Amino acid sequence: MNAKSTILISAVVLSFSVHGGERDIQHNYPLEKLSANVYVIHGPNEEVTEQNQGFRNNPVVITTEKGAIIVDPGSSVYTGEMVVRKLKEVSEKPVIAVINSHGHGDHWLGNHGVKKHFPDVSIYSHPLMKKSIETNGGEMWIKAINQRSNNAIEGTQVVAPNKTVNEGDEMDFGNITLRVYYKGKAHSDGDIMLEVVQEKVFLFGDVLRVENISPFMASLNGNLAALDIGEKTGANIFVPGHGKSGDKRLINTYRKFLQSLKAEVKNNFESGLNDFEMKPKIIKAMNGYKDWSGLDENIGRLINLVYLEVEEESF
């Protein structure tokens, strides 16, 4: 089965109805086992649409002696509640921690759904992510996803992280240790990556994407460096922020995409073209990636960002 037919089937199991003016949205995607204690829900690998109701990331569940952990519970109160529901299929323990990989709303707005069931849950992120939500209020993410999904996440509230973790921290959950990596700007300003040490699983957040192109990039060089860090941990299962989990080949493929994009921008920059002038040429040159989600919509913004970085390097 190819990726596209999987998405179609997943969308069918999604139910949606309106009760007395309140939205009752039940996402229902399977929880897949990756290792003894790590599970993932692979969300639709596509942009936000009315049909996917804003759900498009990969929430992760980790079961430990001390309780359950959820990483990136999705884009709404509804996806957060789905993750809690699915978690109950594999563990009766309460959720003791939520960890947010970075500040983009499709990953953390689901905090609300977890908090509804576990009001005392600790929610962790990098300090820069926590600060950005405290500064901009996070409401912009609710607005942006509602606009693209016909208000599918209405009812979702901002629930910001209340604790922080940083490079080198180890979170001890008894049988499970989570090692935290932060290597500066990569996909965003405040990406953390997590190694599930005992199970050789590495959670990249959006530093790794599979057949999916984001409009966001804080630093292409930083993103490449962060990919190397994850690869060197000795983990053998890698979970991307979007797209199916897998082995090292995922890292190689995404690295190659980033390197090709940089090379294209650099060549055109050296021929004296502006970022908007090079866009059609680069789309043509990157034709091998035309089936990746978001290429047409997002490549222009990525070119802008990489252009600035290439320009800076040339001084």
Which residues make up the interface to Zn ion (CB under 5 A)?
A: 104, 106, 206, 241
Cβ proximity to Zn ion: between 81 and 106 the closer is 106
Least spacing, CB of residue 88 vs Zn ion, in Å: 25
Least spacing, CB of residue 269 vs Zn ion, in Å: 28
Angle at which helix 295-314 crosses helix 249-270, to 10 degrees, equals: 60
Angle at which helix 275-285 crosses helix 249-270, to 10 degrees, equals: 140
**Angstrom distance (rounded) from CA 194 to CA 182:** 9
Cβ proximity to Zn ion: between 224 and 285 the closer is 224
CA distances, 84 to each of 17, 78, 98 (Å):
20, 10, 11
**Angstrom distance (rounded) from CA 229 to CA 64:** 25
Residue 131 CA to chain centroid, in angstroms? 19
Paired strand residues for 238: 202, 246
**Angstrom distance (rounded) from CA 69 to CA 224:** 28
Least spacing, CB of residue 57 vs Zn ion, in Å: 5
Least spacing, CB of residue 186 vs Zn ion, in Å: 12
Cβ proximity to Zn ion: between 136 and 236 the closer is 136
Cβ proximity to Zn ion: between 42 and 104 the closer is 104
CA distances, 29 to each of 25, 219, 273, 300, 313 (Å):
13, 32, 45, 32, 44
Cβ proximity to Zn ion: between 113 and 241 the closer is 241
Paired strand residues for 212: 293
DSSP state of 253: H
Cβ proximity to Zn ion: between 57 and 268 the closer is 57
Cβ proximity to Zn ion: between 81 and 206 the closer is 206
DSSP assignment string, 4-55? HHHHHHHHHT-EEEEETTEEEEE-----EE-SSSEEE----SS---TTTTT-
Least spacing, CB of residue 106 vs Zn ion, in Å: 5
DSSP state of 150: T
Q: Which residue, among 186, 149, 151, 148, has the nearest Cα to 167 in the 3D structure?
A: 186
Both structure tokens of 290: 């035309």
Residue 278 CA to chain centroid, in angstroms? 28
Cβ proximity to Zn ion: between 37 and 101 the closer is 101
Closest chain position to Zn ion (CB): 206
Cβ proximity to Zn ion: between 104 and 130 the closer is 104
